[in-house]
Amino acid sequence: MSRSGSSRKSFDLEWIERWARCVNDDRILPVIGRFFTSRFVLGVDETEYLIEVRGGKIQRIAEGLTPNDLGYDFGLKAPSSAWMKFSQRIPPPMFNDIWAMAHPLHRQLIIEGNTLPFWQNLRALTRMLSLMRQV
C-alpha cells in the first residue's frame, strides 16, 4: 500500500502502467468498451500521457507526445492534486467523476480536442478511469 501510495503522488509512467494493467485485467470493460477504440491524452500537470485503446483495452501508453503521434482524439487534463482526489478509494465530493470535475461549475479538469468520442464512450471511459482507485 505504501508503495502505491507514494508513487500515486507522482503519477509517473510506472503508475500509469499499473493502472493500464488493471484496466486490461478488468472483466467488464471488454463488454461495455467493445467499441471503445481511441487515442486520448491523460494530462497530469504538465505531463501528457498518450493512451491508445482498442476494444476497451489499453494497447499502448507513452509519456509525452511527438510529431509521429499525429495528435490524438481528446484530452483529459487536470492538475495532479485533482487526479489525486479522483483516484482515492472514496473520492471527495466534486472529484468523484470526470464530468463532475469538468462541469462548468467546477472546472477542475479540461476536456479538449474532439469531444465526440469522449461522449460516445463515456460509460466505458468512466469505468476505465474509476479503476485508478484500485491502483
Partner 1 sequence: MNTHDPIVGRYVYVQCEGKTYRTYYEEHGEGIPLVCLHTAGTDGRQYRHQLCDPDIAQNFRVIAFDLPWHGKSIPPSDFYLMEDEYKLTTRFYCEFIVAFCRALDLTKPVVMGQSMGGNVCLALALKYENEFSALIALEACDYSPGWWIDPLHHPHIHGGEVVATSVFGLMSPESPDEYRWETWWYYAQGGPGIFKGDLYFYSVDSDFRDQCQKISGKLPIFFLTGEYDFACTPEMTERTAEKVRNSECIIFGGGHFPTSEDPAKFKEVITPVLKKILGLDPERRGQGGARAGVTDLRSGGRSERPAGRRVIDL
Cβ–Cβ under 8 Å, residues 35 and 12: no
- Site membership for partner 1, residue 9 (CB under 8 A): no
- Site membership for partner 1, residue 93 (CB under 8 A): yes
Q: Which of 6, 103, 110, 112 binds partner 1 (CB under 8 A)?
A: 103
Residue 110 or 116 with smaller CB distance to partner 1: 116
- Site membership for partner 1, residue 94 (CB under 8 A): yes
Q: How far is the CB of 130 from partner 1 (least distance, A)?
A: 9
Question: Half-sphere exposure of residue 108, counting CA atoms within 13 Å on the CB side?
Answer: 17
Beta strands 38-44 and 47-54, pairing class: antiparallel
- Site membership for partner 1, residue 90 (CB under 8 A): yes
Residue 72 or 118 with smaller CB distance to partner 1: 118
- Site membership for partner 1, residue 114 (CB under 8 A): no
Nearest C-alpha neighbor of 45 from the set 3, 91, 4, 12 = 12
- Site membership for partner 1, residue 34 (CB under 8 A): no
Q: Which amino acid is at 115?
A: T
Nearest C-alpha neighbor of 127 from the set 11, 4, 36 = 36
Cβ–Cβ under 8 Å, residues 51 and 40: yes
Give contact residues for partner 1 (rule: CB under 8 A).
90-91, 93-94, 96-100, 103-106, 115-116, 119-120, 122-123, 126
